[in-house]
A and B are shown apart, each in its own frame.
Chain A
Amino acid sequence: MNEQLLRERLHAATADIHPVPRLDEILAAPGRSPRRGPAVLAIAAALLVVAAVAAVLALRPASDPSVVTDQPSTTTTSAVVDDRPAAGDAARVPIELLPAGFELIDETEGRAEFPSGSRTYTVLRFAESASSYDAGDPALRVAVLPTRVWVSEMASAVAALERPAPQPGEIVRLDAPWLPTGTADLLPVDDGPWLHYSRSIGPDLLLLVSGRDLDDDTLEAIVAQATTSP
């Protein structure tokens, strides 16, 4: 085989592929490793000293429950990661691509009993600021984004579209008005079909619903709540 010819063919075949830069989305992704510079070490040392002094003087408990933060945390991300086979990556995408300046307002984990068993779900709410959310800012944009939902649990949505769940190997594009793109693909993956939308991230994303074992009734209720919120 002529390796030089192969090399030329590979390059020629992709010459007209021109990806759209999405640098802003990457720079807005939370969870970046902090710099481990001298300043950070100095701050860490200072915090240790303060904590030690506080403990000795019993000024306040080390873990004061009144201290709250509205900043996104890595634990938030892990809360919505689906651990089913070959399902983890896209489930993380929406949170990582939240626009810069957005804050986590609250995180609600729910558990409910359904005929098919006990289900858990997680609702994450994001806004441009906690104050705008609390004030009911009418300009607050709200969208709901089911990350990955079993098609069997989207039965009502599928039925509404009057079509059955896809067969293995079949890709079905659905209208999904709750997504920024307005559509979603039913993508069969592994042991069941998932609702897949990994390219559907838009600037209006404020509320994210991630459903691990999310029941369709619960999802509908969440969607209704989210889309009617200010």
Chain B
Amino acid sequence: MSVVEPTSEGAAVPSARPSTFPAFYEERLAVTVRQVALMVGSAAAAEDIAHDAFIEVYRRWDELANPGGYLYRCVSNGALRHLKRGNRHGGELVDLAAPAPSLDFLEVVDLLGHLTPRQRVAVVLKHYGDLTEQQIADALGCRPGSVGPLLTRAHAALREEWGE
């Protein structure tokens, strides 16, 4: 699995660019953490990954015409790195201070756990973030043409697990 460095702007931002970073942060924090939580299966890890991504966006705030796209790229890379580490060692940090995840969350995470890291990130970007295939390609740093097959394989795997 390759991990793309966030060297350029990625997917388009779903809404207009907020005028200030604090406004952007306030608007995007919850949805970003939730998306990353689905990607990595841990709300605590998601907060860290999202936090690091927001720092990257803040550093380049004045240069970015599309901070939302760049944020997607940063969190996607962070999630892929996290999944890569987790897959290699089979371990996951447990945040003892964090509230217990809901049953819904655990079930969905279990379902998404049958996907490869890139499939998992792509599915979340597609079905939670409502990103287009072009935007997903930008976030993953891949060709747009490869997103369709990636999602098709992911959907097939989900369908199998879902028992359809």
Contact = CB atoms under 8 A, between A and B. Distances in A.
A17, A188, A196, most chain B CB atoms within 10 A: A17
B50 A19 contact: yes
Helix, strand, loop or mixed for chain B's interface?
helix
Contacts of B104: 9, 12-13
A9 B108 contact: yes
Given A16-B102, A16-B105, A169-B89, 12 more contacts: A1-B162, A7-B128, A10-B128, A13-B104, A14-B128, A17-B37, A17-B46, A19-B43, A168-B91, A169-B91, A171-B91, A190-B88
A124 to B, nearest CB: 18
Contact of B34 (A3, A14, A33, A171): A14
B51 A14 contact: no
A23 B50 CA distance: 12
13 contacts: A2-B164, A10-B108, A13-B102, A14-B105, A19-B47, A19-B50, A21-B26, A29-B55, A33-B60, A168-B90, A170-B91, A189-B89, A196-B93
A16 B103 CA distance: 11
Interface of A: 1-3, 6-7, 9-14, 16-23, 25-27, 29, 31-36, 86, 89, 93, 96, 168-171, 173, 185, 187-190, 196, 198-199
B158 interface: yes
Interface of B: 21-22, 25-26, 29-30, 33-35, 37-38, 43-44, 46-48, 50-52, 54-55, 58-63, 78, 81, 84-85, 88-96, 102, 104-105, 107-109, 123-124, 127-128, 155, 158-159, 162, 164
B52 A21 contact: no
A36 B60 CA distance: 11
A7 B33 contact: no
B85 A29 contact: no
B61 to A, nearest CB: 7
A9 B128 CA distance: 9
B59 A86 contact: no
Contacts of B81: 86, 89
B62 A33 contact: yes
A32 B59 contact: yes
Contacts of A189: 85, 89
Contacts of A11: 128
B55 to A, nearest CB: 5
Nearest to B51: A22
Contact of A10 (B90, B96, B127): B127
Given A9-B108, A11-B128, A17 B55 contact: no
Contact of B52 (A7, A16, A86, A93): A93
Contact of B62 (A23, A35, A168): A35
A202 to B, nearest CB: 14
Contact of A31 (B37, B59, B84, B127): B59
A198 B62 contact: no
A38 B127 CA distance: 43
B54 to A, nearest CB: 5
B127 A3 contact: yes
